Chain A
Amino acid sequence: MLLEKDNIQYRGFHNIYDEQGNAIGFEIRFRMHYYRGLWLSQIRVGRVIVDGEEFLADSGLMTWIIDGNEYTPAQMKQDNKHFWEMQKPAIIRIKKPGGLSQGYHDVAVRYSFSSSYMPPELEVFDDSVEGRAMMGSNTFKKRMLIV
């Protein structure tokens, strides 16, 4: 399977619909930038920002689908049995009545993780600010079209 060089994958970006065909939100397909997979409890989920609109991790509007299982960020924090593999992008699902309008959108995903073999002082994460996380940037951005 070919994955894109950017962390936010163009392939997999779309609105989601209920059974009546109403758009109820959208999905972002996202692969990690780290060189090893992560236990879910290691992941520090941050906000998603689309065209300036912020969807916070604890807003109840966000879930992550990893290897087919859907988790809230709070559930991920408590789960050290499941694992996010390098080659299996996560799907970040956001509830938003009406979905995203046709056209371009500026999408940003913020997240980080703990890495216990690195100095603890590097292990900072503040998703209210761009770029404050270990291993460089915590913000991944892409401008994408939705149909």
Chain B
Amino acid sequence: MKYVPPKGPKRGVSLYSYTDMFLRGMCIEDAFREMHDMGAHGVEILGNSHIPGYPVLTDEFLTEWHELCEKYEIIPAEYGHWIDGRMWEDRMLSVDECVELLENDFKIAHALGFHCLRTKQTVINGVLDPVENWRDIITAATPAALKYDVIMLPEIHGPTTLSQKMVQDFVEYIDKTGTKAFGLNIDFGVFSTRMHHRTGSVGSKPEELIPLLPYVKCCHAKFTSMIPSDDELMFREEWIPYPEVLTILKEHGWDGWMVAEYEGRDRDDEYALSEALHQHQILMKNVLGY
């Protein structure tokens, strides 16, 4: 029976979680095998990390990618990429240079079957506000994004909070332009109850997510520390209120992928990494019921 993704919040994995293993030679099939074990069907890859030959997409990789997705019932959920505005030591990238880089990623993402892109912008300060001309860059890249049927999603990531002006600016831009090429990615780390080491602040309340849901196209299911729980959920994330966040997503009819991003200190240990990924998927499965 072919896998058909259900409507609603869906479980996936970002291959970012496997960073330390990739650095030592792990391949995509290794990750897909484990995702299949866990019933986590959506994948996020990072263009700059997981595509051999990047920034070129080779025919060989393209063929292999589609074969592996078919074999392990994996759906391309999100493609991560960057606007490396400070790639030159002595000056910022121009708008045209940004668009050229973006368009190459749009092409690759589209060929690999991705619609959602986690687009990292160049930031200017410690609370991660983007460059002042971000609207110009996004607007200039929009025709290409529409051509390749992709949507750029800046990731709202701690220590940014959901009430920060940046988030409102993004929402206003979407409302004002009516764009189909720009939305939001929410990293669940924004709900962390642990004080941030740089800013000394704590995260947003889960209910602050509700008014943003129409703009959210993909989520990063960030986790750093899984702990046992005596109830039917079996596990909890130590700092992030997963049951509350996932219940909001489900009850408000949000439809999209939540790709797991593990940032535990022990992720360079193969066993610890697999165990944490499994615990996290069990928690999400027990909250969602699927």
Contact with A along B83-119 (1 / 0, CB 8 A): 1111111000000000000000000000000000000
**With the chains together, A86 CA to B25 CA distance in Å?**
9
CB <8 Å contact, A35 and B49: yes
Check A119/B126 contact, CB under 8 A, given A32-B23, A35-B16, A86-B23: yes
Contact mask B247-268 → A, CB, 8 Å, 1/0? 0000000000000000000001
Are B126 and A114 in touch, CB under 8 angstroms? no
Given A1, A32, A42, A119, which contacts B125 in the complex, CB threshold below 8 Å?
A: A119
Task: From A5, A36, A39, A44, give the contact of B49 (CB < 8 A).
Answer: A36
Give complex CA distance A120, B123 in Å.
7
In this assembly, does B52 line the interface, its C-beta being within 8 Å of a C-beta of chain A?
yes
Q: How far is the CA of A108 from the CA of B48 in the complex (A)?
A: 26
Number of B residues near A (Cβ < 8 Å) is 30
Q: A31-B23, A32-B23, A37-B49 are in contact. Are A114 and B86 (CB under 8 A)?
A: yes
Please name the residue on chain B nearest to A78 by beta carbon: B88
Residue on A nearest B119 in the bound complex, by CB: A117
Counting CB contacts under 8 A, is B55 at the interface?
A: yes
Q: Give the chain A neighbours of B19 by CB distance below 8 A.
A: 35
Q: Name the residue of chain B whose CB is nearest to the CB of A88.
A: B52
A116 touching B25, Cβ below 8 Å: no
Q: Complex formed: what's the CA distance from A77 to B91 in Å?
A: 12
CB 8 Å contact bits of A1-18 with B (1 = contact, 0 = none): 111110000000000000
Enumerate chain A residues within 8 angstroms of B86, measured Cβ to Cβ. 42, 114-116, 120, 123
- Taking CB atoms and an 8 Å cut-off, the chain B residues in 3-17 that contact chain A are 16
Cβ-based interface call for A139 (8 A):
no
How many contacting A-B pairs (Cβ < 8 A)? 84
* Chain A contact residues, majority secondary structure: loop
User: Are A39 and B25 interface neighbours, CB within 8 A?
Assistant: no
Tell me if B87 and A42 are in contact (CB < 8 A). Answer: yes
Q: How far is the CA of A111 from the CA of B19 in the complex (A)?
A: 20
Q: Answer whether residue A137 sits at the interface, using C-beta atoms and an 8 A cutoff.
A: no
Asked if B52 and A87 sit within 8 Å, CB to CB, the answer is yes
Task: Judge if B288 is at the interface, Cβ distance under 8 Å.
Answer: no
Question: Contacting A83 at CB < 8 Å: which of B22, B54, B83, B125?
Answer: B54
A39 touches B23 (CB 8 A): no
**Distance of A79 Cα from B284 Cα, bound (Å):** 44
Find chain B residues with CB under 8 A from A83 CB: 48, 54-55
Contact indicator A116/B123 (Cβ below 8 Å) = yes
Tell which of A3, A38, A80 touches B24, judged by Cβ atoms closer than 8 Å.
Answer: A3
The one of B24, B85, B89, B123 that contacts A77, using a Cβ cutoff of 8 Å: B89
B54 and A116 within 8 A (CB): no
| Contact indicator A4/B24 (Cβ below 8 Å) | yes
Interface residue from A41, A87, A120 paired with B88 (Cβ < 8 Å): A41
Known interface pairs A41-B89, A77-B89. Does A87 touch B22 (Cβ–Cβ under 8 Å)?
yes
In whole angstroms, how far apart are the Cα atoms of A3 and B19 in the complex? 13
Chain B residues near A87: list those with CB within 8 A.
22-23, 25, 52
Is A116 touching B49 in the complex (CB atoms < 8 A)?
A: no
A121 within 8 A of B: yes
Task: Offer 27 A-B interface pairs, CB within 8 angstroms, sorted by A.
Answer: A2-B25, A5-B24, A33-B23, A35-B19, A35-B46, A37-B49, A39-B84, A39-B87, A41-B88, A41-B89, A42-B84, A42-B86, A42-B87, A44-B89, A80-B87, A83-B54, A86-B22, A114-B84, A114-B89, A116-B84, A116-B86, A116-B87, A116-B122, A117-B123, A119-B128, A120-B124, A121-B126
Sample of 16 further A-B pairs with CB below 8 A, known A37-B49, A44-B89, A116-B87: A3-B23, A35-B16, A35-B23, A41-B88, A42-B86, A42-B87, A77-B89, A86-B49, A87-B22, A87-B52, A116-B84, A118-B123, A119-B128, A120-B86, A120-B124, A121-B126
When A and B form their complex, which 4 residue pairs have the shortest distance between CB atoms, in order from nearest? A36-B48, A116-B122, A35-B19, A117-B120
